[in-house]
Amino acid sequence: MKFQKLVVVSVVLLASLLGGCSNKSSGKKITVLVRMMPAQERFFRDQMIPAFEKEYKCKVDIAKFESEWDIERMLKLEGSKKDGSIALVKTPFEMTRVLVNKGLMRDLYDVLDSNQVLQDLAEYHQLATGLGFIDGKPYYIPRKLETRVFFYLKSKVADAVTKFPNHKDRINTELKKQNGYGLPADYAFESDPAEWDLYDLYVAGSIWANEEYNGVKMGRVAHRGARYLGTTLDIVDRSLQMGASREDILSLTSDKNVETYLWENVFVRNGIYNSAMWQDQWKGANIYTGIKDGKVFATFIQQIDAFLIHGWAEDPSMPSYLPVESDMALCVMPKAVSFGLSPKGKPTFEGDRNISTGGWWWGIPKTSPDAKLAYQFARFMTTRENQAKECSRFGMVPVRKDILNNLPEVFDQGWVGDIFKKSVEQIRINGLTTVPLIKNYAEMGQNVIDAWYSLCVEYKEPQNGEKMNFATMKMRLASDYLEKQKQLLGDEFPAE
């Protein structure tokens, strides 16, 4: 690998970027607020921070948040103190505007000369930089771009393709009761998941759920199921695949949003999803364990997930979660299609494969005890050399132009290169698609999750014969969750 992962220095500041900081910062102490996977935090704590401290003669502590919603609470607490300690926040995209709109973050023009800031930001990909601008001012330094790709086990897909003829009639009958037709007209189960749509994912999942593996039958498709923004993103991304606009998602009861919830209900009620998703409140690490234990054959993951799932054979701190390492495969997302079919067996509409592009940014709170040192810390994290080292170890999609434009020169072309290749391909498909950029996204996200639990996970068809279909789902979303959505969004709720 061109940037050897053995040289793991990823959070160190480069004194030459902005001169004079070393002496001025002597004796200073700052805290960086982060959330990281255990292996990545060790890398950050053991190798990055010591190098930074030595270079700048300062002390850096780590504070951690568990949920995105914790950031706002912690920064408000900082504001109530005489002397705050949190100088820099590793900020998920979903919270960038929330924190700015609530007056908790400092714009970068208030930290350094605007010409210097713009010169620095010009080093990053325009999407990463642009997403850090709010109301015409830069508030964030890009850390990494992020999107999800489709993960699957090659051997289990091959097994499903082989066994499909034995399950076709059962699946057809099962679906006919629910969509009035069965499998789409002229249906053929593709052997390459890069060609799949949602009906192919359903077929694979149905086969896996109805075959014994390790002596057990269970659902073996999964996504996150905990009550946090990671699960919100799974649902919002599916709506975006359906072709939903920002207004469609915010209005909640738009047809493409309804289709998303309907598909989720179908996957739950027919046992396609592993029920531990909601029973055990799965987050990313739980999915890793599910893969290791043979309970998950397909899921939706980010780049860092792929690296952590694969692991490094020579690094005991990053063990593999794969029964067979060569069995891991990635591709772009399955194409979204409506669950409803026309009388001729065609989807009533087709979506696409695009989901949201997000990521993480470094932000400086208004209460930062040393904003300039925090700025330089963030800049050093994203020098070409340091970002390449961290990205090559943890699968982060880089934000620097000089890396993105020369991926083959920076990363090896084995499984590491494949992760970057597929992730960048998905980002290309996404274009400028993001989650809705609203100040109450986190609160809206909780409403989205509440609706998912009620209408997809816990829903039981009533005794009066009402069937869960498109009309029922639309009615229930409107009657049970629309008013709360309007209250949460206020004047950001789309005009009717």
pLDDT digits (tens, 9 = 90+) for 13-57: 223 333 334 444 456 899 999 998 888 899 889 888 888 888 888
Nearest 5°: the CA angle 312, 385, 3 is 35
Mean pLDDT of 161-186: 96
Amino acid at 101: N
CB-based burial, 242-267: b 16+ in 10 Å, e otherwise: bbbebebbbbbbbbbbbbbbbbbbbb
Q: Is the pLDDT of residue 3 over 60?
A: no
Q: Is the pLDDT of residue 120 over 70?
A: yes
Is residue 152, in this structure, part of any structural domain at all?
A: yes
Listed residue (405, 454, 348) closest to 446, CA to CA: 454
Is residue 3, in this structure, part of any structural domain at all?
A: no
Q: Among 411, 428, 448, which residue terminates a domain?
A: 411
Least confident of 153-157, 197-201, 425-429, 471-475: 425-429
Quote the tokens at residue 430.
């996404």
* Calpha distance 231→96 (Å, rounded): 18
The pLDDT value given to residue 403? 86
Listed residue (11, 66, 64, 48) closest to 284, CA to CA: 66
> Do both 182 and 265 map to the same domain?
yes
Quote the tokens at residue 388.
């390449």
> Do both 367 and 483 map to the same domain?
no
Amino acid at 360: W
Mean pLDDT of 438-454: 92
- Is residue 300 within 8 A of residue 223, CB to CB? The reply is yes
Listed residue (166, 222, 153, 221) closest to 193, CA to CA: 153
Is residue 10, in this structure, part of any structural domain at all?
A: no
- CATH assignment of the domain containing 247: 3.40.190.10
The pLDDT value given to residue 48? 83
> Do both 25 and 119 map to the same domain?
yes
Q: Is the pLDDT of residue 382 over 50?
A: yes
> Do both 375 and 323 map to the same domain?
no
Look-up: residue for tokens 């969509």? Answer: 179
Q: Between residues 216 and 383, which one has the greater pLDDT?
A: 216
Mean pLDDT of 150-157: 98
**Coil/strand/helix, residue 174:** helix
- Is residue 415 within 8 A of residue 310, CB to CB? The reply is yes
Taking all residues of the chain, what is their mean pLDDT, rounded to a whole number?
89
Quote the tokens at residue 443.
């609160």
Q: Is the pLDDT of residue 1 over 60?
A: no
The pLDDT value given to residue 417? 80
Q: How confident is the model at residue 7 (pLDDT cuts 50, 70, 90)?
A: very low
The pLDDT value given to residue 93? 87
> Do both 284 and 238 map to the same domain?
yes
pLDDT tens sequence across 238-268? 999 999 999 999 999 999 999 999 999 999 9
> Do both 233 and 324 map to the same domain?
yes
> Do both 185 and 273 map to the same domain?
yes
Chain CA centroid to CA 380, Å = 25
Least confident of 46-50, 116-120, 286-290: 46-50
The pLDDT value given to residue 391? 82
Which ranges in 88-197 belong to alpha helices (H)? 93-101, 114-121, 126-130, 154-179
Is residue 372, in this structure, part of any structural domain at all?
A: yes
Domain limits for position 183: 148-355+437-496
Strands (E) located in 296-441: 298-302, 328-331, 358-363
Q: Is the pLDDT of residue 108 over 90?
A: yes
> Do both 367 and 267 map to the same domain?
no
CB-based contacts of 112, cutoff 8 Å, min separation 6: 18, 372, 375
Is residue 416, in this structure, part of any structural domain at all?
A: no
Q: How confident is the model at residue 332 (pLDDT cuts 50, 70, 90)?
A: very high
> Do both 303 and 337 map to the same domain?
yes
> Do both 237 and 178 map to the same domain?
yes
Is residue 449, in this structure, part of any structural domain at all?
A: yes
Least confident of 52-66, 146-160, 199-213, 476-490: 52-66
> Do both 121 and 168 map to the same domain?
no
Q: Is the pLDDT of residue 487 over 80?
A: yes
Look-up: residue for tokens 């990313």? Answer: 284
Strands (E) located in 264-381: 298-302, 328-331, 358-363
The pLDDT value given to residue 84? 85
Which ranges in 343-383 belong to alpha helices (H)? 371-381
Q: How confident is the model at residue 465 (pLDDT cuts 50, 70, 90)?
A: low
The pLDDT value given to residue 265? 97
Distance of CA 340 to CAs 171, 273, 369, Å?
16, 20, 56
* Calpha distance 5→342 (Å, rounded): 53
Quote the tokens at residue 15.
């004194």
Q: Among 395, 411, 427, which residue terminates a domain?
A: 411
Least confident of 116-120, 302-306, 365-369, 437-441: 437-441
The pLDDT value given to residue 176? 95
Distance of CA 22 to CAs 54, 274, 423, 451, Å?
10, 52, 37, 52
Is residue 422, in this structure, part of any structural domain at all?
A: no
> Do both 136 and 155 map to the same domain?
no
Listed residue (336, 353, 344, 350) closest to 184, CA to CA: 344
Mean pLDDT of 474-482: 97
Quote the tokens at residue 32.
């960086």
End-to-end CA distance of the chain: 55
Look-up: residue for tokens 């706002």? Answer: 72
**Coil/strand/helix, residue 153:** strand
Backbone angles phi, psi at 14, to 5 degrees: -100, 115
As for how many domains the chain has, the answer is 2
Is residue 418, in this structure, part of any structural domain at all?
A: no
Task: Name the strand (E) or helix (H) holding 91.
Answer: strand 86-92
- What sign does the CA torsion over 172, 350, 204, 229 have? negative
Task: Count how many residues are written for the chain.
Answer: 496
Amino acid at 368: S
Distance of CA 185 to CAs 112, 175, 176, 336, 374, Å?
61, 13, 12, 17, 59
Listed residue (128, 151, 152, 125) closest to 302, CA to CA: 151
pLDDT tens sequence across 182-214? 999 999 999 999 999 999 999 999 999 999 999
- Is residue 83 within 8 A of residue 76, CB to CB? The reply is no
Least confident of 109-113, 194-198, 257-261, 413-417: 413-417
The pLDDT value given to residue 409? 66
